[in-house]
Amino acid sequence: MIAVLFALLLLVTRAEAVSPPVQGPCSEDSCIWFRVLDDEIGGAGPAGLLRHLRVRWWASAHPRGRGEDRGTEEQLQILCSGTRPALLVRRDGGWWKQPLDPGLEVQEAANGGAVALYAWTCHGIVLGNEASPELEELYPTRRTMNELEGRRLARLEDALR
């Protein structure tokens, strides 16, 4: 009986989110919202801190982001780095390191949701919130377009070098 109660407790604890709903980029009639459900440290190295995330994404026109129950979950890896922030994705049977440009206006970025997630996960910043610092203030040096093209990794851990 105690084992069953312990297993239920673990299940309930695991289901809790590690972040509140966070607003991402907005278009004319709605905004992208996300909630980090799981956040685990995957490693650390000279390039930064690797975080394994489980995230729920949804779109909402409501100012408080209602509609999360219709969202979709995704597993992501983010490299928190003071110089080379990146999103790490599975592509063609391997890993791809897709650099993020934290200095780009999030509404203009093709990967604005990923930049908003990066700001929240790595710095605790909600983009567009007057109480939060601007993400680009933390990254005074902007990347060139060549640096934003990304590269294939032999292993996920190679992102930390």
pLDDT over 80 (residue 2): no
- Say which amino acid occupies 92: D
Per-residue pLDDT tens digits for 54-71: 999 999 998 888 999 999
d(C-alpha 55, C-alpha 72), whole Å = 8
3-state secondary structure of 24: strand
- pLDDT tens readout for residues 100-128: 887 766 555 567 889 899 999 999 988 87
Whether residue 7 lies inside any domain: the answer is: no
The reply to whether 3 falls in a domain is no
Considering the domain boundaries, does residue 106 fall inside one? yes
Tally of domains within the chain: 1
Answer yes or no: is 10 within a domain. Answer: no
Tell whether 143 is covered by a domain.
yes
Question: Comparing 10-19, 58-67, 119-128, 136-145, which segment has the lowest mean pLDDT?
Answer: 10-19
Q: Is 92 inside any structural domain? A: yes
**What global pTM score does this model have?**
0.80
Q: What's the maximum distance between 2 C-alpha atoms anywhere in the chain?
A: 60
Give residue-wise pLDDT tens across range 71-107: 999 999 999 998 889 999 988 888 999 988 877 665 5
The answer to whether position 1 is within a domain reads no
Question: Within the chain, where are the H helices?
Answer: 2-15, 112-123
User: Which residue has better confidence, 124 or 10?
Assistant: 124
Q: What is the DSSP letter of 143?
A: P
State residue 138's pLDDT score.
81
Residue tagged 């992102």 (tokens)? 159
Find the domain containing 35 and state its range. Answer: 15-160
Burial group, residue 116, by CB count within 10 angstroms (0-12, 13-18, 19+): buried
Residue 33 placed within a domain: yes
